[in-house]
Amino acid sequence: MAERGKQTVRDLRRGSRSTLLQRLYFEGPLSRQELGQVSGLSAGSVSNVVGELLADGLVEECGSVESDGGRPRILLQVPPGRAHLVGVDVGETQVRVALFDLGLTELAASDHPLSDCGHDSDHVVELILTGLAEVLESTGTDPATVLGVGVGVPGIVEQGDPGTDGAGIVVHSQTVDWDAVPIGRMLRAGTDLPLYVDNGAKTLGQAEMWFGAGRGARHAVVALFGSGVGACVIAEGARFRGATSSAGEWGHTKVHVGGRLCRCGSRGCLEAYVGAEALVERWGRAPAGSSEKAGLAALLAAAEAGEADAVELLAEAAEYFGAAIADLINLFNPERIVIGGWAGLMLGPRLLPAIRDAATAYALRFPRAQTSIDLGRLGPDAVTVGAATLPLWHFLQSGGELPARLAAAAAG
């Protein structure tokens, strides 16, 4: 038996596989020599591990480049068609399920508006499972090729025992009245695919850090501005989770003691002043029966037309948002703050200059000068992309570990 705290040969092998897979995934195509340079592994280790990954079908040769005086160097990459990923966004008004290849190219999507049942947990789980079946059937995808299903949800996520394969995941969300909802067990009753669940703002943050406006930063905050408000804090390149995974509930920090009632039941929350739902409600002039997005678009159009009440409301929202960003700057000293979410991207072009000005006015001068504030680059469906990174990250960290059915198919 290996001594506690000491790495076994298997651990070292898995670590080497993970290192090379991650380098190839994010920086490839690369040659074996380049892999040795960027990974720090010896030429012999690179050769052995690459041989394993090629044999497992997790890496493929994809051309060559000329070398200085020697034979051409063979380039390697992670084949995007090797496996599939599913991302789910449990949003404020709909459940979106998308199927991706390993390169995170979207292959199919299924959008299901929430009915009068709202966020009833049984209803939400039914929509997720329906959407999952639809994207697999529409593309003819064998479930055995799916590495896992990632789900972004509102609220705080307890991961449970890792040995339960996701069945122990529990969600707490006051804003949608979820009190210890056993979503892992509920989903497991309808699918045997590996399950990964996290807060939607955190999945958005993962996507923007890997592929969007946060790429290359070690310290950042990615803010989700939708019906509600949330944040993903990145410290030393990793998501900061806190003691019980509730770090990032920025929308429920207080900006006005005794202020407006928030969906969470408290008063004076940031979300009650800058969330899209709150903005449309406070304006009070959205067309009857319109969706929240349509209402926000109408508010923006009214402000663009110079209507005083709309202009004043958005100016106030920008100041609240900028002051709250100043708090993030003072607390976390990030290199970048990225504003995403469908509402953030819709209002950003108009509000971003005022948000930056307010952040400058309320933050300490030195850390503010080191922080850029920009809009996200991945569009309004970035939560879905981020959710798909949950099984992808497990795949990369594990050194290419495959679900049992996919591994058996590969062996066959």
- 264 torsion bin: left (phi>0), alpha (psi -120 to 50), beta (else): alpha
List beta partners, residue 157: 171
- 261 neighbors 249 (Cβ within 8 angstroms): no
**What's the CA dihedral at 325, 328, 330, 333 to 10 degrees?**
-120
Own/partner pairs, 141-145, CB within 8 angstroms, 24+ separation: 141/84, 141/99, 141/107, 143/193, 143/405, 144/403, 144/405, 144/406, 144/409, 145/83, 145/84, 145/406, 145/409
Three-state SS string over 202-225 comes to: HHHHHHHHHHCCCCCCCCEEEEEE
Digit-coded pLDDT (tens) for 240-287: 988 888 888 999 999 999 999 999 899 999 999 999 999 999 999 998
- 195 neighbors 167 (Cβ within 8 angstroms): yes
What pLDDT score does 163 carry?
59
What pLDDT score does 2 carry?
46
**Which DSSP symbol is given to 301?**
H
What pLDDT score does 1 carry?
41
Which residues 6+ apart lie within 8 Å of 195 measured at CB? Answer: 148, 149, 151, 165, 166, 167, 169, 184, 187, 188
User: What is the spatial distance between Cα 63 and Cα 263, in angstroms, rounded to a whole number?
Assistant: 55
* Alpha helices, DSSP H, located in 58-192: 121-139, 183-188
Using only C-alpha atoms, the chain has a radius of gyration, in whole angstroms, of 23
What pLDDT score does 112 carry?
95
Question: Residue 241, SS3?
Answer: coil
Residue written as token pair 């509930």:
249
User: What is the spatial distance between Cα 194 and Cα 184, in angstroms, rounded to a whole number?
Assistant: 10
What pLDDT score does 93 carry?
85
- 126 neighbors 114 (Cβ within 8 angstroms): no
Its sign, for the CA torsion 160, 162, 167, 171, is: positive
| Spans of the chain below 50 pLDDT | 1-2
